[in-house]
Chains A and B, each alone.
Chain A
Amino acid sequence: MVQQEVVVKNRLGLHTRPAASLVKLAAKFKSEFYLERDGYRVNGKSIIGVMTLAAEEGARILLEFEGEDEQAALAALVDFFDRGFDEL
Chain B
Amino acid sequence: MSSEEKDRLSPREELVLHGIGASPGIAIGKALLLKKDGIVVEEKSVDDTAAELARLQKAVERSAYEVEKIYRTAVEKIGNDQAKIFEAQLLMLSDPVFFDAVKRKITKTKKNAEYVVSTEFSKQVDQLRHSKNEIFRQRAMEIEDAKNRILRNLAEAKLKSRFEGTPIVVTSELTPADAVLLSRNSVLGYVSDFGGARSHASILSRSLGIPAVVGLKEATRHVTDGVGIILDGYRGIIVVNPEESTVKKFSERKAWCEKLDSELMSEAAEPALTTDGRRVAVEANIELLEELPLLKTHGADGIGLFRTEPIIIDFASIPDEVEQADIFRKAVEEAKPNAVVFRTFDIGGDKIFIEGHAEQNPFLGWRGIRMMLDRPELLRDQFRAILRASAFGKCKIMYPMVATVEEVVRANAILEEAKKSLEKEGVEYDRKIEVGVMIEIPSAALMSKEIAKHVAFLSIGTNDLTQYLLAVDRTNELVANMFEEFHPSVLRTLKLIIDAGHEAGIKVAMCGEMAGNPLATVMLLGMGLDEFSAVSSMLPVLKKIIRSTNYKNARKFTRQLLKMDSAEDIKSTLTEYLRTRFERIYYTTISKENSD
Chain A residues packing against B (C-beta within 8 Å): 10-13, 15-18, 20, 43, 45-49, 51-52, 54-59, 87
Contacting residues of chain B (352-383) with chain A, CB-CB under 8 angstroms: 353-357, 375, 378
Determine which residue in B97, B135, B315, B357 has the highest number of CB atoms from chain A within 10 A of its CB, and name it: B97
Expressed in whole angstroms, the minimum distance between the Cβ of A79 and any Cβ of chain B is 19
Q: Does B88 contact A (CB under 8 A)?
A: yes
* Chain A residues, Cβ within 8 Å of B159: none
* Chain A residues, Cβ within 8 Å of B356: 54, 56, 58-59
Chain B: residues with Cβ within 8 Å of the partner, total of 29
Are B96 and A48 in contact (CB-based, < 8 A)? no
Are A52 and B320 in contact (CB-based, < 8 A)? no
Are A46 and B133 in contact (CB-based, < 8 A)? no
Are A15 and B316 in contact (CB-based, < 8 A)? yes
Are B97 and A20 in contact (CB-based, < 8 A)? no
Are A47 and B91 in contact (CB-based, < 8 A)? yes
Closest to A88 in B: B320
Interface-lining segment among B8-16, B124-132, B467-475:
B124-132
- Bound-state CA distance A46–B354 (Å) is 23
Expressed in whole angstroms, the minimum distance between the Cβ of A35 and any Cβ of chain B is 12
23 pairs across A/B with beta carbons < 8 Å?
Answer: A10-B317, A11-B378, A12-B312, A12-B317, A12-B318, A16-B88, A16-B139, A17-B315, A17-B316, A46-B96, A47-B91, A47-B92, A48-B143, A49-B97, A49-B98, A51-B128, A54-B128, A56-B355, A56-B356, A56-B357, A57-B355, A87-B318, A87-B320
Q: Does B136 contact A (CB under 8 A)?
A: yes
- Bound-state CA distance A52–B135 (Å) is 12
* Chain A residues, Cβ within 8 Å of B406: none
* Chain A residues, Cβ within 8 Å of B124: 48-49, 52
The 0/1 profile, CB within 8 Å of A marked 1, for residues 79-121 of chain B is 0000000001001100111100000000000000000000000
Are B355 and A55 in contact (CB-based, < 8 A)? yes
Expressed in whole angstroms, the minimum distance between the Cβ of B358 and any Cβ of chain A is 11
- Main secondary structure, interface of B, reads helix
* Chain A residues, Cβ within 8 Å of B127: 52, 54
Are A56 and B354 in contact (CB-based, < 8 A)? yes
Q: A11-B318, A47-B98, A49-B95 are in contact. List 15 more A-B contacts (CB 8 A).
A: A12-B316, A12-B353, A12-B354, A12-B355, A15-B317, A16-B88, A46-B98, A47-B91, A49-B124, A51-B128, A52-B127, A54-B128, A54-B136, A55-B355, A56-B355
* Chain B residues, Cβ within 8 Å of A12: 312, 316-318, 353-355
Are B316 and A46 in contact (CB-based, < 8 A)? no
Tell me the total A-B contact number using a CB cutoff of 8 A: 74
Which residue of A47, A58, A87 contacts B317 across the interface (Cβ within 8 Å)?
A87
6 closest Cβ pairs, A-B complex = A56-B355, A46-B97, A52-B127, A12-B317, A15-B316, A56-B356
Are B97 and A43 in contact (CB-based, < 8 A)? yes
Expressed in whole angstroms, the minimum distance between the Cβ of B86 and any Cβ of chain A is 13
Expressed in whole angstroms, the minimum distance between the Cβ of B335 and any Cβ of chain A is 28
- Bound-state CA distance A51–B124 (Å) is 9
* Chain B residues, Cβ within 8 Å of A17: 315-317
* Chain A residues, Cβ within 8 Å of B97: 43, 45-46, 48-49
Are A52 and B315 in contact (CB-based, < 8 A)? no
Closest to A87 in B: B317
* Chain B residues, Cβ within 8 Å of A49: 95, 97-98, 124
Expressed in whole angstroms, the minimum distance between the Cβ of B251 and any Cβ of chain A is 46
**With known contacts A11-B318, A15-B135, A54-B355, A45–B378 Cβ distance under 8 A:** no
- Bound-state CA distance A87–B135 (Å) is 17
Which residue of B98, B317, B320, B355 contacts A48 across the interface (Cβ within 8 Å)?
B98
* Chain A residues, Cβ within 8 Å of B91: 20, 47
- Bound-state CA distance A4–B249 (Å) is 70
Expressed in whole angstroms, the minimum distance between the Cβ of B63 and any Cβ of chain A is 14
Contacting residues of chain B (316-351) with chain A, CB-CB under 8 angstroms: 316-318, 320
Expressed in whole angstroms, the minimum distance between the Cβ of A7 and any Cβ of chain B is 13
Are A16 and B316 in contact (CB-based, < 8 A)? yes
* Chain A residues, Cβ within 8 Å of B357: 56
Expressed in whole angstroms, the minimum distance between the Cβ of B447 and any Cβ of chain A is 31
- Bound-state CA distance A87–B381 (Å) is 13
* Chain A residues, Cβ within 8 Å of B98: 46-49
- Bound-state CA distance A80–B481 (Å) is 50
Expressed in whole angstroms, the minimum distance between the Cβ of A86 and any Cβ of chain B is 10
Expressed in whole angstroms, the minimum distance between the Cβ of A16 and any Cβ of chain B is 4
Expressed in whole angstroms, the minimum distance between the Cβ of B259 and any Cβ of chain A is 45
